[in-house]
Amino acid sequence: MASDQTANFPPPLLAFTGTASTLATTREARPPADEAEARIAGPKVAGSVAIVRVAVVVPVKAFGAAKLRLAGEVSPAGRAALARQMADGVLRAAGSLPVTVVCDDEAVAVWAEAAGATVAWTPGLGLDGAVAAGVDAVAVGDVGADRIVVAHADLPLATDLGHVIGTAGVLLVPDRRADGTNVISIPARCGFTFAYGPGSFERHQAEAVRLGLPIEVRNDLALGWDVDVPDDLRLPGGADLAAGHRA
């Protein structure tokens, strides 16, 4: 994986610390921190702002197996490096919120622990099942989250997740094509069923309606930019994510 560490991609911007306890097989990176609590504008209690405990769940695929649709444009080592770089940035964008990485790859688990995240080992569950396991896990234990933000790991422009936590119901950040769901924030223990893949933005809205939860759609340029196909490598402003790693 040495090539992953030396790739010349845009550096991440924000510092990250975090932890979470999970129901899935876990390896805790560090003990719970006070930062597990985030102040969210909402109902005031006895003259103070209500405290809502927030956690972040990030599903991460094996770096070497990620972004296969870029194979015609980016070398295998470059794809792995890009996947890791983008995941680094998403974890850093969580700031002080506790992060759980759901994965089934040993190299990803080692990387996540080194970044200060907790690992939820979720082999054989697929994306939907892995995310559901991570969401269920952070709703109990040391974190006991009230709201949970699920962010994909392929968001190269992500610098902050704090503004997409939401205060009630389901907050959705679609991709820039209004097709996929790049970030979703939900209340803990609400019974939400995830349905990722093409058209997930519409399906997740329908799921919120099924559960009787209010919906907020947040169109965000940075968080709406994910990387799936070669056209996604050219960022706004012209920067090339794959510079120096073209196949």
- Which pLDDT score, from 0 to 100, does residue 242 have? 86
First CA to last CA distance, the chain: 18
- Which pLDDT score, from 0 to 100, does residue 47 have? 54
- Which pLDDT score, from 0 to 100, does residue 13 have? 29
- Domain 2-233 classification at class level: alpha beta
Q: Counting every residue, how long is the chain?
A: 247
Question: For the chain, which ranges sit under pLDDT 70?
Answer: 1-50
Element (H, E) at 114: helix 106-114
Q: Domain boundaries in the chain?
A: 2-233
The Cα–Cα gap between 36 and 242 comes to: 35
The Cα–Cα gap between 53 and 219 comes to: 24
Tens of pLDDT along 82-122? Answer: 999 999 999 999 999 999 999 999 999 999 999 999 999 99
- Which pLDDT score, from 0 to 100, does residue 180 have? 98
- Which pLDDT score, from 0 to 100, does residue 123 have? 95
